[in-house]
Amino acid sequence: MPEVKSEIKFLRGPQSRWLEFKFTVKVMIEFIRGFRALHFVGPCVAFFGSARFEENHPYYEKARKAASEVAKLGFTIMTGGGQGLMEAANRGAKDVGGRSVGCNIVLPMEQMPNEYLDKWVRIRYFFVRKTLLIKYSFAFIVLPGGFGTLDEFFEALTLTQTKKINQFPIIVFDKVFHRELLEHIETMKREMTISGDDLNLILVTDSIDEAIQFIKDNSIARYGLVSERKSSPVPWLLEHS
Query: Per the domain annotation, does 217 fall within a domain?
Result: yes
**Alpha carbons 66 and 62: distance in angstroms, whole number:** 6
Mean pLDDT for 145-174 is: 95
51-89, pLDDT tens digit by residue?
999 999 999 999 999 999 999 999 999 999 999 999 999
**pLDDT at residue 210 is higher than 70:** yes
Give the separation between CA 107 and CA 191, rounded to whole angstroms. 38
Residue 44 counted as domain residue: yes
| Residue 19 belongs to some domain of the structure | yes
Q: Residue 54: which region, alpha, beta or left (left: phi > 0; alpha: psi -120 to 50)? A: beta
Q: Is residue 241 included in any domain, yes or no?
A: no
Cα dihedral sign, 25-31-32-37: positive
Is residue 4's pLDDT more than 80?
A: no
- Computed over every residue of the chain, the mean pLDDT equals 90
Distance CA(232)–CA(153), nearest Å, equals 32
Output the furthest CA–CA distance in the chain (Å, rounded): 56
Q: What is the mean pLDDT of residues 39-43?
A: 91
Q: What pLDDT, in 10s, does the model give residues 113-130?
A: 999 999 999 999 999 999
CATH assignment of the domain containing 213: 3.40.50.450
Does 91 map to a domain? yes
35 against 233, higher pLDDT: 35
- Predicted pLDDT of residue 17: 86
pTM for this model (two decimals): 0.89
Is residue 230 one of the residues assigned to a domain? Answer: no
Top-confidence range, 5-9, 74-78, 161-165, 221-225? 74-78
Rounded Cα distance between 167 and 109, Å, is 36
In a domain, 234, yes or no: no
**How many domains does one find in the chain?**
1
Q: Where are the beta strands (DSSP E) in the chain?
A: 44-48, 76-79, 100-105, 119-123, 137-142, 170-173, 202-205
CA 45 to CA 26: how far, in whole Å? 28
Q: How far apart are CA 165 and CA 8, in angstroms?
A: 34
Q: Of 50-64, 138-152, 167-181, 223-237, where does mean pLDDT reach its minimum? A: 223-237
Residue 76 domain-assigned (yes or no): yes
Instruction: Count CA atoms closer than 13 A to 198's CA, side-chain side.
Output: 16
pLDDT of residue 196: 87
User: Can you give the residue range of the structural domain that contains 85?
Assistant: 2-225
| Range in 34-43, 53-62, 63-72, 218-227 the model is least confident about | 218-227
| Local confidence band at 1 (pLDDT 50, 70, 90 cut-offs) | very low
- Tens-place pLDDT, residues 91-115: 999 999 999 999 999 887 767 899 9
